[in-house]
Amino acid sequence: MYPELIKIGPVTIYSFGLMAALGFFISGLLLEKELVRIGREKELAGSIIIAALIGGIVGSKIYYLLQYPELLKEDFFGNVFSGAGLVWYGGLIGGTLSVTWYIRRKNLPFLLVADLMAPLLLFGQGMGRIGCFLAGDGDYGPPADVPWAMSFPNGVVPTNQAVHPTPLYDTLLLFSLFALLWSLRKKNYRRGTLFGLFGILMGVERFFTEFWRTDPKYIFGFLSEAQFISIFLFISGAALIYYVNFMKKDSE
């Protein structure tokens, strides 16, 4: 694998960082087009993406350090400000909070922006998983003898065993789900429906691919922490769809 793509003197371009940057950049361009389509200023896209980027990084880092608090004792500043240790669910929480703060500040309808962002969240996550695959950062699965099993001897978390390339499973599913939500974006759904559907799809995707990861299954003896959160995300998405379609008289 290729954790480092290019190194010129003191400047190093990392594969994960490049894929994440491309994910945010392309998502920003798509969001611009969507804002123009619904009659809003496309300039809002840049600020929303920046808010998502900052909140996502901070949230993912906080989530990671809450999982491994001993790292703060080992090297507080090194672990807080390192580029490693970014957890996607923490990024989703942090990014959602920061974008919510921004759009409320601009008096934008929350559910409108949430629906616009729904397919882009899947796309961005898919790009991030390509970065995980290229970096070999340990997100792969257990040993496997399937024809497509791979080893990651030069990864950030190296292994010489042939294992399930779980990031590729994630990438295929996430891009497929992105295509699905993208194809539905122009339908006349009530606001919040697409964002709720994102929660359902993302929860199902991560719940099942987690079986091909080596994360410890300590919740109820058979679920990982990510699977537990996936269940919550699924329920939240279903509840939002029910609320906006059957209980809320007027969409926001």
The domain locations on the chain are: 1-108, 160-252
Report the distance separating Cα 235 and Cα 243, nearest Å. Answer: 12
Residue 211 per-residue DSSP state: G
pLDDT tens column, 80-123: 655 555 677 788 888 889 999 999 898 889 999 999 999 999 99
Contacts of 77 (CB under 8 A, 6+ apart): none
pLDDT of residue 87: 73
- Helix 166-184 to helix 110-135 angle (10° resolution) is 160
3-state DSSP assignment of residue 3: coil
Strands 150-152 and 159-163: antiparallel
Q: How confident is the model at residue 177 (pLDDT cuts 50, 70, 90)?
A: very high
pLDDT tens column, 138-172: 888 999 999 999 999 988 889 999 999 999 999 99
Q: Which residue has the higher pLDDT, 226 or 182?
A: 182
pLDDT tens column, 22-67: 999 999 999 999 999 999 999 999 999 999 999 988 888 887 788 7
Beta bridge partners of 13: 6
- Can you tell me which residue has the tokens 């400047």? 11
**Average pLDDT, rounded, for the chain:** 88
pTM: 0.88
Residue 143 per-residue DSSP state: B
State both tokens at 70: 């001993």
The answer to whether the beta carbons of residues 170 and 205 sit under 8 Å apart is yes
Handedness of CA 17, 14, 161, 217 (dihedral sign): negative
Beta bridge partners of 8: 11
The answer to whether the beta carbons of residues 248 and 108 sit under 8 Å apart is no
